[in-house]
Amino acid sequence: MPKAKFEKIYKDLKEKIESQDYPYQGLLPSENTMVDIYGCSRNTIRRAVSMLADEGYVQPLHGKGVRIIYQPVAKAAFTVGGIESFKESAARNHKIAGTKVVQFAEITSDERIFEKTGFPVGSPLYYVQRVRYLDGKPLIFDINMFLQSVVKDLTPAIAASSIYEYLENTLGVQIVTSKRKMTAERTTQIDEKYLELNDYDFLAVITSQTFDSNGILFEYTQSRHRPDYFCFQDTAIRKRT
């Protein structure tokens, strides 16, 4: 439950847009109208609206109004977006999630790991490999590294449920920023061993670095998805240079 005013307004508008209460290609009420509706300042309205613009829900038109450009998506694949845990993604895609830990070790970052992940040389790390199941099928292979000084006392049992829940609820670590790269790669023998690949000999790969609320890089993940169950979404806004 959001407590900040702009978050409530943001959420309310978002719901109204998603339910087509405010329809595609229509305009939002003017800022001054919404000031009356929500009983707040124009700045607060503008903040909520600009969040929706960042997500590709609306597009403000100078002098005219704010056009709704959100369209409901027919989602066949497993869509990835925002920062969310595997469990959250699975729930959003209406699929049943499962996880099997196939490797769990403690290692120390060296030069090679530093180059790849950004963890300072000498940092103690947890190294985890997990197979992710959607509706019972092994479709995603995850390789994680966690900074031990942040993610304390990680166990295989925790890795098998939700590390994000453990971080947020038990350790109080706030996940804040995540940098990601998307590529497509040939399958490896490890992929073949653990995943149900059918005829696929390539995977969609997301590698990400995650920072906690202290601005410390504490997680590096490589997530390897079977292509027919993968879709990565994004919205970009042009800025003048």
Rounded to the nearest whole angstrom, what is the least distance from the CB of residue 237 to its own copies in the complex? 6
Return the SS3 of 152.
coil
Confirm or reject binding of residue 33 to DNA (CB under 7 A): yes
- Using a CB cutoff of 8 Å and minimum separation of 24, what contacts does 230-235 make? 230/77, 230/78, 230/80, 230/204, 231/75, 231/76, 231/77, 231/78, 231/79, 231/80, 232/79, 232/80, 232/81, 232/182, 232/204, 232/206, 233/79, 233/80, 233/81, 234/81, 235/54, 235/55, 235/56
| Per-residue contact string for residues 182-221; x = within reach of DNA by CB under 7 A | -------------------------------x--------
* Helical pair 5-18 and 31-38, crossing angle rounded to 10 deg: 110
Confirm or reject binding of residue 241 to its own copies (CB under 8 A): yes
**Which region, judged by CB under 8 A, interacts with its own copies, from 81-89, 93-101, 128-136, 141-149?**
81-89
Rounded to the nearest whole angstrom, what is the least distance from the CB of residue 156 to its own copies in the complex? 26
Rounded to the nearest whole angstrom, what is the least distance from the CB of residue 77 to DNA in the complex? 33
Confirm or reject binding of residue 65 to DNA (CB under 7 A): yes
The answer to whether 129 touches 101, Cβ cutoff 8 Å, is yes
The answer to whether 167 touches 173, Cβ cutoff 8 Å, is yes
Rank residues 50 and 93 by Cβ distance to DNA and give the closer one.
50
Rank residues 72 and 156 by Cβ distance to its own copies and give the closer one.
72
11, two tokens: 């959420």
Confirm or reject binding of residue 59 to its own copies (CB under 8 A): yes
Total chain residues near its own copies (CB under 8 A) = 50
Max CA distance (Å), the chain: 61
Kindly report the CA angle at 226 between 222 and 227, in degrees rounded to 5?
110
**CA contacts within 13 A on the Cβ side of 18:** 9
Confirm or reject binding of residue 181 to its own copies (CB under 8 A): yes
**Which region, judged by CB under 8 A, interacts with its own copies, from 96-104, 140-148, 152-160, 226-234?**
226-234
**Residues at the contact surface with its own copies, assessed by CB under 8 A:** 2, 7, 25, 53-54, 56, 59, 61, 67, 69, 71, 77, 81-83, 118, 174-185, 201-204, 211, 213-215, 217, 227, 230-241
**Residues at the contact surface with DNA, assessed by CB under 7 A:** 4-7, 27-28, 30-33, 39-44, 46-47, 60-66, 213
